[in-house]
Amino acid sequence: MPKDIRLGQSPDAELVHQLSNTNIWWRRTAQRLLVDRQSHPALGLLTRLVNEGRSPLGRLHALWTLEGLGRLDTALVLKALDDPEPGVRENAIRLAEPRLSSSPAVIEKLLNMVTDSNPKVRFQLLCTLGFVDSASSRAVQGKLLLENIEDVWMQVAALSASSDRAPQWFEMAVSPKLKLSAGESPGRRSFFRQVCSVIGSRQKSGEIQRVLKAVERNRQSGSEWWCAASLEGLASRAGGKGGNPAALKASQDLLLKLFEHPAAGVRHASLQLLKEAGLATGAAAERALRRASATASDSDADPLARADAIDLLSLAGPGERAALFKELIDPQQPERVQAAAVRGLGQVKGDEVARFLLSKWRTMTPAVRSEAGYALESDPSRALLVLNAIKNEEVQAWTLDFSQKRALLMNEDPEIRNRAHALLEDQPGEREKVVKRYQAALDSNGDAARGEQIFKRVCSKCHKKNGVGAEVGPDLGTVQNRPAALLLEDILMPSKSIAQKYEAYVVETFRGGINEGVLGSQTPTTITLRKEEGKEMIIPRKEIKRMYVANLSAMPADVEKQVDTQQMADLLKFLTTR
């Protein structure tokens, strides 16, 4: 860079000239200085640059400089909307927004840009037309959306307009004329979910009922995908802080009908809505509960249907069905059924339930055990029973997942906190001793085939390799060139070095819940926490009371309880093999 730069002392003509510089610092600095000076003599130079400049960057900065000076003429905006450079057209659409209410010519020009060849221009056009509420604008918006429905950002652009449009978008989507619901695709499914999430957040009974009735009317084969997506969208926003359960309670009988839907996705999504609304007594509810009780007990029924039936029974009062739930927590039952029964039984108050679950602990698979862990941590008295079981070696500490350990370590009760720290945290230097003990794995001949099985058993709940596993932590296909000695430390001392973007976050909600997980996708209104086995929790931002990065890695620090030295050698061989 040249020495003694004194751009601030340059005349207006030089600053206008620098708006075309290939270096962004010169362009931005020149633009700032021109706006700061409020120099009227520069207006002609800027206008000439817009009209005659050869550099697209120069034309772009000239437009924004004139806007900053408050002297951008509508005629120049119209000219820029025809610019051969897509980036200039995209910015010209943004510059057109303040002129929408005063210039019909600008609106007409925008409507005629519907066939623009550049996707970024079309995206900005759809965003901007959301400010124009007219039949012709809505038609163009619909055309832009339908022709680009697989682009999730175009969906976001369409839904960024007034939320009043959401019910109209839904009616358009289910219209037989447009055939948007005729065939499933990732983009179409996403759109149904997103548009119904907006409808759910509006909390208007009439709008919610129209979605539910549309789903209830469409029981033919091939409609399950959009019906399920629509209900999932409603459920994602219908509850939480500021929610209005009455908007859903008015539709309880309709939701109970949908619970009988033959498609598993529709049935499960309707159950989530019933959980938000709460199950009120009534003839329809009694009939549904009788059928659910029969389904839950039917060993020949589909395990997913049985699990949903158990969850419905739990809504009506788990205490009355505690005996059934206990009966179903048995290794002879499918895992899904056991997990649902544990969820239901866990809602029954008292320590007797905790003792029962702890007595079954060693018979439980990881998924069932995870549900039991959440049920046990939810009550201080039960948490103490868990800690006693760990102390007496009736429960192994490694069988608790990260969030369950975190709930004990951060419990509001000081007695629980102190006992948890003594039982669950290593003393200073302990992890280093473990690493030293496992150094022998570095000198052993590992077997990659056996290591793959160790990976699937221990690691795949949170990591992927070769397309297998869940995407919670880093993809382990990227570590094959990392020295085995460093990988050993990464595995046994996970909190020593946490990979960026994979930190564990703790989120406290206004409902009193504490949730932990790796931060996943985000929207302006929600965050997603990724958990073991690929599970995700979507939390509305308005529900967040407090959010912070945890001090420890989400990866368990006691892998040695599940992997011996030779197995570690096999695992390292697998991780470092292409």
Q: What pLDDT sits at residue 499? A: 64
Q: Where is average pLDDT lowest: 190-199, 218-227, 238-247?
A: 238-247
Q: Which of 311-325, 337-351, 446-460, 546-560 has the lowest mean pLDDT?
A: 546-560
CATH number at residue 529: 2.30.30.100
Question: Do 16 and 127 sit in the same domain of this protein?
Answer: yes
Q: Say if 101 falls within a structural domain.
A: yes
Both 410 and 457 in a single domain?
A: no
Q: Give the model's confidence band at 34: pLDDT under 50 very low, under 70 low, under 90 confident, else very high.
A: very high
Residues 491 and 372 in one domain: no
- Rounded to whole angstroms, the Cα distance separating 262 from 269 reads 12
85 and 23 in one domain?
yes
Give the confidence band of 498 by pLDDT, cuts at 50, 70, 90.
Answer: low
CA–CA distance, 92 with 95 (Å, rounded to integer): 5
Is 59 a domain residue?
yes
Residue 251: predicted pLDDT: 86
Distance CA 188, CA 177 (A): 16
| Residues 6+ positions from 4 with CB-CB distance below 8 Å | none
Q: What digits encode the pLDDT tens for the residues 193-220?
A: 999 999 988 888 899 999 999 999 887 7
Domain annotation covers residue 307 = no
State the pLDDT at residue 222: 83
The distance from CA 195 to its chain's CA centroid, rounded to whole angstroms, is: 16
Residue 428: per-residue pLDDT: 64
| Mean pLDDT confidence for 170-190 | 88
pLDDT score recorded for residue 41? 87
Residue 487, domain extent: 442-575
CB 187 within 8 A of CB 179: no
User: Tokens 């596993």 — which residue?
Assistant: 469
Residue-level pLDDT at 339? 95
> Does pLDDT of 496 surpass 70?
no
Same domain, 446 and 401: no
Give the pLDDT confidence of 299-348 residue by residue, as tens digits.
999 999 999 999 999 999 888 999 999 999 999 999 999 999 999 999 99
- Categorize the per-residue pLDDT at 111 as very low, low, confident or very high, splitting at 50, 70 and 90: very high
- Condensed to tens digits (0 to 9), the pLDDT of residues 115-127 reads 999 999 999 999 9
pLDDT band for position 39 (50/70/90)? confident
Contact 496, 509 (CB under 8 A): no
Among residues 79, 112, 138, the one where a domain terminates is 138
> 52 and 129: one domain?
yes
The residue-averaged pLDDT of 376-385 equals 92
Q: Is the pLDDT of residue 185 over 70?
A: yes
Q: Which of 379, 399, 425 lies at the terminal end of a domain, its last residue? A: 425
Kindly state the average pLDDT of the residues 249-266: 89
Asked whether residue 353 falls in the same domain as residue 400, the answer is: yes
Q: With a cut of 90, say whether residue 106 has pLDDT above it.
A: yes
Residue 524 scores a pLDDT above 70: no
Residue 65 inside a domain? The answer is yes
* 554, part of any domain: yes
Q: Is the pLDDT of residue 573 over 70?
A: yes
Q: What is the CATH number of the domain that holds 110?
A: 1.25.10.10
Residue after which a domain boundary falls, among 80, 105, 138: 138
Rounded alpha-carbon distances, angstroms, from residue 142 to 132, 146, 160, 193, 551: 13, 6, 13, 17, 48
Beta-carbon contacts of 329 under 8 Å, excluding residues fewer than 6 positions away, are 338, 341, 342, 345, 356, 357, 360, 364, 368
400 and 493, same domain (yes or no): no
241: pLDDT strictly greater than 60: no
Residue 298 has pLDDT above 80, yes or no: yes
Considering the chain, what is the average pLDDT of its residues?
A: 89
pLDDT score of 458: 86
412 and 507 share one domain: no
- Given CA atoms 135, 141, 147, 150 in this order, what sign does their dihedral have? negative
pLDDT class of 443 with cuts at 50, 70, 90: confident
pLDDT value at residue 427 = 66
Same domain membership, residue 471 and residue 563: yes
Q: Which residue has the higher pLDDT, 303 or 432?
A: 303
In a domain, 154, yes or no: no
Helix then strand then coil, % of the chain, to nearest 5: 60, 5, 30
| Residue 210 resides in a domain | no
3-state secondary structure of 280: coil
One domain for residues 12 and 128: yes
Residue 491 — very low, low, confident or very high, per pLDDT cuts 50/70/90? confident
Alpha-carbon distance of 56 to 19, in angstroms, equals 10
Give CA–CA dist 131/547, Å, rounded. 34
At 515, give phi and psi (nearest 5°): -120, 140
Domain total of the chain: 3
Query: 559: burial class by Cβ within 10 Å (0-12, 13-18, 19+)?
Result: buried
In a domain, 243, yes or no: no
463 and 404, same domain (yes or no): no
- How, if at all, do strands 536-540 and 526-530 pair? antiparallel
